[in-house]
Each structure stands twice: as structure tokens, then as C-alpha cells.
């Protein structure tokens, strides 16, 4: 049964906040600097530059077949992803095409070019990478190794509410959001826009996975506090928003 309280939450889905908002009060209008487009690596964190990929990695290129074959895949083979394949998936989901004044144009759309997401990876089976948590740097198209986590697979499964595929992938994408990147301009409308943005990112992952014989499954249900703890986030200025395990397809 849909209770009154649940109905009230629907307000979040509406565009009503645009009518109520006075954009002249935004931090952008007050000439506060635009927040950085990516979190800087910590001193001493080395960049792992991702290789160029070429069309050899593609098993399907036809957009109609890609859209038609897309589905949520929750079982993966034990084969590792190659680094060019991972490079392709990161490019498809957050890759930067152009850097303009303090902002980036990427392969996915984002309201006001705000791009509030950081992409963390729980890496299990990727050639040339040891197991652990990594973060993608879109500006450099590089990874940084964040840290190792004992029993990472079990921890990811627990975070994913015991859905085994969250921790039995080749790599699980973990998107965090830094909401201020959107709030700086869009204030009260930000939460809705961030949620819409996330769909664009994950849909590109679905299609890019299909193109290289991989599969993925969007994960909206997870244990927030445990996910934020795993990535050592404060859960307020930055928190986990969405996840997607990726692995080689078992069946077509
Ligand atoms: C926003 C969103 C959240 C989702 N969350 C989960 C999830 O937590 N666990 C899961 O197994 N599937 C999840 N899914 C996958 C859906 O169950 C799946 O898309 C749906 O059953 C339709 O199947 P299809 O993707 O194969 O067309 C999610 C999908 C979306 C778009």
C-alpha cells in the first residue's frame, strides 16, 4: 500500500523546485569558484595510465544489436578483463572529450556539465591489476590504486545485501556522488538531477559491456553505511550512489 508519506516523497521527482528556486542565490551567482571536476590524487599516489583501446576489442558495433541484446547480467565467467577493455568501459562511462573553463565535456550527458560522480572500482580479475580499490581519474584517463581490503569479495557481497554478483565480478564499478558539484548551480533541484545523471552513466556501461562480450547489472540496493565505510567516505559531502558489477558473459 502506498502511504501518504511515500506519496509526499514523489515531490522529489517533480520539476517544481525550478519554480521555487531563486538561482540568483546560488553559489555560482555569488561567484564562488566552481568545485573541482575530480578529486585530486593524494601525494604519493601514482597514476596508472590506461592504455588506448582499438576496435579489435569490439564483438558488436551495430547500435541496434547492442540495444537489443542489452539486459542485466548477473552471472559472469571467471575470465579476467584486459586493461584495454577496462579502459574502454571507463571511457564510455566518464571519459573526457574536452576540457573547457573549469569544466569537462564527457561521453555522458550531465545537467549543467556538473558531473558529480567519482568512479571507484573494486577490482577482482583485471589483467595487470592486483585486487583492491581503485579510482578513475577522467582528466588523465588513469587509475590510482586507493587501498587493499582484506576479504574484498565477501565485503562487497555484504554491501550488496548478499547478492553474490556484487562481489563475484571481474570488477565492480562503484559510483560516488559529490553533490556540491550540482548544488553550486542548481541548489534544491540537485538531488533529482544527480539521480537522472546516474542513469546516463550506467546505460553507457550496459551498452559498452554488450559491445565487448561483457555483462553488467545496475545495483541500486546496497547498504549505504557499509559502502561509504569501505571507501572511507564521510557519507555527506561524498557518498556511494550506484554500483554495477561487470564480468565476461557466460551466455549470449
Ligand atoms: C536504478 C536501478 C536499480 C537496480 N537495482 C538492482 C539491484 O539492486 N539488484 C539487482 O539485482 N538488479 C537491480 N537492477 C536491475 C533491474 O532489476 C533490471 O534492470 C530489471 O529487472 C529489468 O531487467 P533488464 O535490465 O534485463 O531489462 C536495477 C536497475 C536499475 C535501472
The CATH number of residue 125's host domain is 3.40.109.10
Output the pLDDT for position 126. 98
Q: Is it the case that residue 1 has pLDDT exceeding 80?
A: no
| CA gap 142, 100 in Å, rounded | 19
For ligand 1, what atom is nearest to the CA of residue 202?
Answer: 31
- What's the whole-model pTM score? 0.97
Nearest CA to ligand 1 atom 31: 218
Instruction: Tell me how many domains the chain contains.
Output: 1
38 assigned to some structural domain:
no
Q: Is 48 exposed, middle or buried (0-12, 13-18, 19+ CB in 10 A)?
A: middle
1 assigned to some structural domain:
no
CA of 175 to the centre of ligand 1 (A): 16
Q: Is it the case that residue 28 has pLDDT exceeding 80?
A: yes
220 assigned to some structural domain:
yes
Q: Is 3 exposed, middle or buried (0-12, 13-18, 19+ CB in 10 A)?
A: exposed
2 assigned to some structural domain:
no
199 assigned to some structural domain:
yes
Confidence tier at 20 by pLDDT (50, 70, 90): confident
Q: Are 121 and 174 in contact (CB under 8 A)?
A: yes
CA of 91 to the centre of ligand 1 (A): 23
For ligand 1, what atom is nearest to the CA of residue 74?
Answer: 11
Domain that holds residue 139: 51-248
13 assigned to some structural domain:
no
CA of 244 to the centre of ligand 1 (A): 10
Amino acid at each position: 500500500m502506498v502511504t501518504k508519506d511515500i506519496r509526499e516523497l514523489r515531490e522529489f521527482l517533480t520539476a517544481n523546485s525550478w519554480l521555487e528556486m531563486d538561482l540568483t542565490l546560488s553559489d555560482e551567482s555569488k561567484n564562488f569558484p566552481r568545485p573541482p571536476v575530480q578529486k585530486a590524487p593524494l601525494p604519493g599516489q601514482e597514476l596508472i595510465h590506461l592504455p588506448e583501446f582499438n576496435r579489435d576489442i569490439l564483438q558488436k558495433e551495430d547500435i541496434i544489436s547492442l540495444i537489443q541484446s542489452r539486459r542485466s547480467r548477473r552471472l559472469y565467467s571467471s575470465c579476467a578483463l584486459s586493461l584495454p577493455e577496462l579502459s574502454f568501459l571507463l571511457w564510455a562511462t566518464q571519459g573526457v572529450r574536452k576540457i573547457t573553463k573549469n569544466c569537462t565535456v564527457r561521453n555522458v550527458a550531465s545537467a549543467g556539465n556538473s558531473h558529480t560522480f567519482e568512479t571507484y572500482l573494486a577490482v577482482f580479475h583485471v589483467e595487470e591489476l592486483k585486487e583492491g580499490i581503485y579510482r578513475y581519474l577522467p582528466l588523465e584517463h588513469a587509475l590510482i590504486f586507493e587501498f587493499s581490503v582484506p576479504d574484498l569479495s565477501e565485503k562487497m557481497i555484504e554491501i550488496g545485501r548478499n547478492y553474490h554478483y556484487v562481489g563475484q565480478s571481474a570488477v565492480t564499478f562503484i559510483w560516488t556522488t559529490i553533490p556540491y558539484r550540482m548544488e553550486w548551480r542548481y541548489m534544491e533541484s540537485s538531488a533529482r538531477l544527480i539521480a537522472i545523471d546516474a542513469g546516463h552513466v550506467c546505460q553507457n556501461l550496459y551498452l559498452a559491456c554488450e559491445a565487448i562480450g561483457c555483462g553488467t547489472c545496475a545495483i541500486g540496493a546496497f547498504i549505504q553505511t557499509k559502502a561509504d565505510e569501505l571507501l572511507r567516505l564521510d557519507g555527506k559531502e561524498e557518498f556511494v550512489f550506484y554500483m554495477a558489477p561487470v564480468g565476461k558473459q557466460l551466455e549470449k
